[in-house]
Amino acid sequence: MKRRNLLALTIALSATAALPVFAQDAAKPYEGTQLSVLMEGHPTTDGIQAMLPEFTKETGIEVQLEVVPESDITAKMLLEFSSGSGRYDVVQNNIIYIPGFVKAGYIDPLDELATKLPKYLDKSDFVPGYLNTNVVDGKLYGLPVYGESTFLMYRKDLFEQYGIQPPKTFDDVTAAAKTIKEKSDGKIAGITMRGAQGIQNVYVWAGWLWGYGGEFINSDGKSALGTDEAAKSLDAFATTLREYGPVGVGNFGWEENRVLFQQGKAGMTMDATVNGAFNEDPSVSSVVGKVGYVPVPAQSDKLKGGSSSLAVHSLYVTNASQQKEAAWLFASWATAKEQQIKSFGIAPNSGVTSQAALNSEEFNKRYGAFKDAMLGSIANGNPQYLPTVQAANEIINNAGIAVSKAIAGTASAKDALAEANTANDAALAR
pLDDT band at 303 (very low <50, low <70, confident <90, very high): confident
The amino acid occupying position 48 is I
Q: Which of 22-36, 61-75, 243-257, 325-339 has the weakest average pLDDT? A: 22-36
Residues ≥6 apart with Cβ < 8 Å to 347: 43, 44, 46, 47, 50
pLDDT band at 25 (very low <50, low <70, confident <90, very high): low
Torsion angle defined by CA atoms of residues 186, 191, 194 and 195, in that order, rounded to the nearest 10 degrees? -50
Where along the chain do its domains lie?
34-148+311-379, 150-309+388-429
Rounded to the nearest integer, the mean pLDDT of the chain is 92
The pLDDT value given to residue 300:
78
The pLDDT value given to residue 5:
43
pLDDT band at 6 (very low <50, low <70, confident <90, very high): very low
Longest pairwise C-alpha distance within the chain: 103
Share of the chain above pLDDT 70, in %: 94
Structure confidence by residue, pLDDT tens digits, 335-347:
999 999 999 999 9
CB 30 within 8 A of CB 329: yes
pTM above 0.95, yes or no: no
Q: Which of 21-35, 121-135, 194-208, 278-292 has the weakest average pLDDT? A: 21-35
Q: Three-state SS for 348?
A: coil
Q: Which of 9-23, 171-185, 188-202, 357-371 has the weakest average pLDDT? A: 9-23
The pLDDT value given to residue 284:
95
Kindly state which CATH superfamily the domain 34-148+311-379 is placed in. Answer: Periplasmic binding protein-like II (3.40.190.10)
- Whole-angstrom distance, CA of residue 316 vs CA of residue 36: 12
CB 311 within 8 A of CB 148: yes
User: Do the domains 150-309+388-429 and 34-148+311-379 match in fold?
Assistant: yes
CB 53 within 8 A of CB 31: no
Question: CATH assignment of 150-309+388-429, given 1.20.200.10, 3.90.228.20, 1.10.287.3510, 3.40.190.10?
Answer: 3.40.190.10
The pLDDT value given to residue 13:
37
The pLDDT value given to residue 24:
52
The pLDDT value given to residue 380:
87
pLDDT band at 4 (very low <50, low <70, confident <90, very high): very low
Structure confidence by residue, pLDDT tens digits, 227-250:
999 999 999 999 999 999 999 999
> Looking at residue 189, what DSSP letter applies?
B
The pLDDT value given to residue 387:
94
